[in-house]
Amino acid sequence: MRIVSALVNVSWLAERLSSPALSPLPIRVLDGSYYLPKHNRDQRAEYRQKHIPGALFFDIQECSDKSSQYRNMLPPAQQFESYVGDLGVDNNTHVVVYDGMDRGLFSAARVWWMFRVFGHPKVSVLNGGLVKWCELGHPVTEEIPQVEKAKFSATYNPSLVRDFDFVEKNLTQKSVQMVDSRSANVFNGEADPSSKPDVGHMPGAINVPLGRIVDYETKIVKSPEKLQEMFTASGVDLARPLVATCGSGVTACGVALAAHLCGKEDVPVYDGSWSEWSKRAPPENIICGTHEKQG
């Protein structure tokens, strides 16, 4: 099985889109943009207005479990197979995914993680996303490509997914580190009160905001050495098991990607994340404030 790099840079993609023979695998570029209400952005509308030539739109909300009361939960394998097959992706496709967030990375890692969950390691995140693509002068288009449907066969990998019961048991067992990618004010419960119950964190969770993974000036993901330093400074031990979490399982995948780049390729995501935890956990397991309750 051919494994591809988790990150590819803009020049690498531009060269292969202009000269497909450079790539041993067919490449399918996907715009995996997803924005929160506070961003006041319409991901589908933005895709229609401007995207990398040849890119199709991967709708994280559409490709989710519609029967769940929680946001953005993984879809059943059959639904994923059908969805990505309609995008022209088969099991031999090298998928390259990006998003349009100004800082270079937000939701693309979620699509990267989903493909891996369903047994497709031939998936990469475009380092710097659409903002870096445009910054370096590469073309964009409004043209939506027409592609032939493909057959994709999913093989679910449960080792990359964790659920509520696992996380609840871990409060006692403390077998894994829970790493939360939300911003510090949301994690600490210091955001606008109107945001509740979207603020707070699980007992013992460690905060590694997604924004710290990307270099602010260059818009690209930090080097593995810098990521290792970031994890260590935050109190995360990459030699120990960890589970990534966030608001609804989207930006948590950025933590999983960052750990992957440091050589830790086995990081699962708590799919329900705070969307589920805030509704199911008892009040004593919802921590608001920088100091956790004792006793």
Pick from 125, 115, 109, 107: which is nearest to 77 by CA? 115
246 as an active site residue: the answer is yes
Task: Tell the residue number behind the tokens 């000269």, with chain if given.
Answer: 19
Catalytic residue among 246, 253, 262, 288: 246
Match 């048991």 to its residue by tokens: 169
Gyration radius of the chain's alpha carbons:
19
Nearest to 52 by CA among 91, 115, 6, 96: 96
240 CB-contact burial (10 Å; exposed 0-12 / middle 13-18 / buried 19+): exposed
Q: Which residues are catalytic?
A: 246
